[in-house]
A and B are shown apart, each in its own frame.
Chain A
Amino acid sequence: MEQYIGTTERWLLTPVVLMFLALIIYFLLRKIGWKVRAATGFALISPWLIGFIIFTAFPLIYSLYLSFTNYSLFGTPKWIGLKNYIYIFTSDYEFWPSVRLTLLYAVFTVPIGVIGSLLIAMLLNNRIKGIGVFRTIYYLPAVMPDVAVALIWRWLFNSQSGLINYALSPFLKLFHIGKIDWFGDPKYVLWAFIIMSVWGIFGTNTVVFLAGLQGVPRSLYEVADLDGASPWIKFWNITIPQISPVILLQVVMGIISALQIFTVAMFVRPTTGAGIFMNQLIYNRGFTQLHMGQASAIAWVLFLIILAFTLLVFKSTPAWVHYEGEIKR
């Protein structure tokens, strides 16, 4: 019982402290001449600002600092310059394979996910009887917890008696291949994860695309019909430009989440030899082997990769993203 009480007390105290801080901020701002509404607004967002400074801004800078140190959680960090980076780039046998696996995973799953869920959304956008049932079914994978998803697939891919090897067995016999060890063999690990992600991706993205498709004005299609446009032309000249902002959002969110795959991978646990993702490597380095410096360096490499990809996508938007009316902000 006492394990709950202590936390509950501190949990109750926190908003009181935050409110107190907000009040102090409010009066300070009033003192320097801010209007009532301005000071109120700033006081209202102050909890986020405080959380941001303590738990995001400071840790971000501190982890950059740690990446230049040797630190094992005990004692004090020792400055070693670029040694962590040099080590992971040149002599770390786990680093490059994890970068490769993570990048390939994103490169395959993001386009498959975006294109696939768009096609599915177009199927579901038909007004036919029973479509509601199909929509519910298609959304189910998105409701499943990562843990359950990972375990189901680990079992489906099981080399001894998994359903997938069973379904493939005629082909395997044909080519004289033994049962595939999906999560144990570096050759297949990537494909297993990609197949898994395709299943999980149906839900959320499809729903978003569906809403996007329903937001396209019908009049555009009617005008095109009068001109005798083929479905193909309508797709490329009306549907795609109209939903391009939704596609942009999906691509960006897809990249960010694909590069950060963690929980599912931890529960699937491909044997280390078969390859692990960058986030798993960060976790292992930091909290299993206690090389906090190296872990921070890998985390920063991941951060820069995500940043580079996202900026690249945003840079490309003028070429293909179409905003109705004016360019927003």
Chain B
Amino acid sequence: MVDILHGYRQSNRIRNVTKKIILYVILSAIAIVILMPFFWMLSTALKSNADIFAWPPDFFPKPALWGNFVKAWHAMPFNIYLINSIFIVVLGMVAEITSETLVAYGFARFKFPGRDLIFFILLSTMMLPFHVTLIPTYLIWQKLGLVGQFDPLVIRAWTAWGPFYIFLLRQFLMGIPVELDEAAEIDGATPLQTFVHVILPQIKPALLAICIFAFRGYWNDFLGPVLYLNDMNKYTMTLGMYFFMGGVNEQPSWNYLMAMSIVIALPMLILFFIAQRYFIEGITFTGLKE
């Protein structure tokens, strides 16, 4: 009896181990597929001009030309582009997060006629393709004489233009007990004071997640800069990359292009490794509360 039980346990353990091994093999195989492009990007970035088109391809370039990063950076005025990008990211993020938090606070904590209808309209704007409103929006900025300035990229952020983030913040706010607000109000706090001292400290995780997303949004934005910025001195990193690529029929310098792709991805990668938790939390949150 004991022997049989022992044998059963052993076969069970063997089955579990096999299952685990298979799982690891599958997970690793997919991981390799995912990582391959990253590896190839780095490998190409370190190649000499002659080496890029070697056939069969060279996986480990010798010598590895780390200087390519410096050369690529100086091939175009990326110094200026970086400053422009940072300028846009900072202005956009501050305006967007401030206004969206206030708007979400209004939707979550106050009752007023038409609130639910307005919120429904806000949600449905997510379905609206950006390109439908593109031309009239361009005409508005043109009328204001601000095409060619940074304004179209950052001013609108004050009007809480990210419906998804408002939605996320509202959901988060609704999870905070109203009793806390009420207690503050009984103590004589104005809505603004309640907001700063009671609400803000509690929604920090949501705000951090939105900061990361907003950063990504402004850093990666291409349509805005390509439409509104026409002066070389005002290009952003992303727009600079577009011109760095060269014309349609030119063969780009792939080693430099890959080097710059790594550079442009670097802020996001660093942010991801520092704040992975908030990344995942933010996404999880948006995905789960429908």
Contacts of B134 in A (CB 8 A): 59, 63, 282, 286, 299
B135 within 8 A of A: yes
A45 within 8 A of B: yes
Interface pair B127/A3, CB less than 8 Å apart: no
A126 to B44, CA, bound (A): 35
Interface pair A14/B158, CB less than 8 Å apart: yes
Interface pair B131/A15, CB less than 8 Å apart: no
B113 within 8 A of A: yes
Contacts of A34 in B (CB 8 A): 112-113
B134 vs chain A, min Cβ distance (A): 7
Interface pair B257/A151, CB less than 8 Å apart: yes
Of A15, A41, A166, the residue contacting B158 (CB under 8 A) is A15
Contacts of A97 in B (CB 8 A): none
Decide yes or no: A151 and B38 within 8 Å by CB, A41-B109, A299-B131 being known contacts: no
Interface pair B129/A51, CB less than 8 Å apart: no
Binds B, one of A79-87, A138-146, A232-240: A138-146
Q: Which interface class (under 10, 10 to 19, 20 to 34, 35 or more) fits B?
A: 35 or more
Binds A, one of B62-70, B203-211, B282-290: B282-290
Chain B facing A: main interface SS: helix
Contacts of B257 in A (CB 8 A): 151, 155
B184 vs chain A, min Cβ distance (A): 14
Interface pair A47/B99, CB less than 8 Å apart: yes
Please, what's the 1-or-0 string for A237-264, where 1 marks a CB less than 8 Å from any CB in chain B?
0000000011011100000100110110
B86 vs chain A, min Cβ distance (A): 11
Interface pair A55/B110, CB less than 8 Å apart: no
Contacts of B161 in A (CB 8 A): 51, 55
Contacts of B109 in A (CB 8 A): 41
Interface pair A123/B26, CB less than 8 Å apart: yes
A4 to B227, CA, bound (A): 18
Interface pair B99/A207, CB less than 8 Å apart: no
A66 vs chain B, min Cβ distance (A): 6
Interface pair B133/A145, CB less than 8 Å apart: no
Interface pair A145/B37, CB less than 8 Å apart: no
Contacts of A283 in B (CB 8 A): 131, 223
Decide yes or no: A287 and B227 within 8 Å by CB, A38-B110, A54-B140, A63-B135 being known contacts: yes
A295 to B129, CA, bound (A): 13
Which residue on chain B has the smallest CB distance to residue A43? B106
Interface pair B56/A45, CB less than 8 Å apart: no
Contacts of A209 in B (CB 8 A): 287
Question: CB within 8 Å of B: which residues of A?
Answer: 3-4, 6-8, 10-11, 14-15, 18, 34, 37-45, 47-52, 54-56, 58-60, 62-63, 66, 73, 120, 123-124, 126, 128, 134, 136-141, 143-148, 151-153, 155-156, 158, 160-161, 163, 166, 199, 202, 204, 207-212, 215, 245-246, 248-250, 256, 259-260, 262-263, 266-267, 269, 271, 279, 282-283, 286-287, 292, 295-296, 299-300, 302-303, 306-307, 310, 328
When A and B form their complex, which 5 residue pairs have the shortest distance between CB atoms, in order from nearest? A51-B159, A41-B110, A44-B106, A208-B287, A59-B136
List 26 interface pairs A-B (beta carbons < 8 Å), by A numbering: A3-B231, A11-B95, A37-B110, A38-B112, A48-B159, A55-B159, A59-B135, A59-B136, A60-B132, A66-B135, A123-B26, A140-B272, A143-B265, A143-B268, A145-B268, A147-B264, A158-B254, A163-B36, A204-B283, A211-B283, A212-B288, A256-B126, A262-B223, A269-B248, A286-B135, A287-B227
Question: CB within 8 Å of A: which residues of B?
Answer: 20, 23-24, 26-27, 30-31, 33-38, 40-41, 44, 52-57, 87, 91, 95, 98-99, 102-103, 105-107, 109-113, 115, 118, 121-122, 125-140, 142, 146, 149-151, 154-156, 158-161, 166, 191, 216, 219-220, 222-223, 226-227, 231, 233-234, 238, 241-242, 245, 248, 254, 257-258, 261-262, 264-265, 268-269, 272, 276, 279-280, 283-284, 286-288, 290
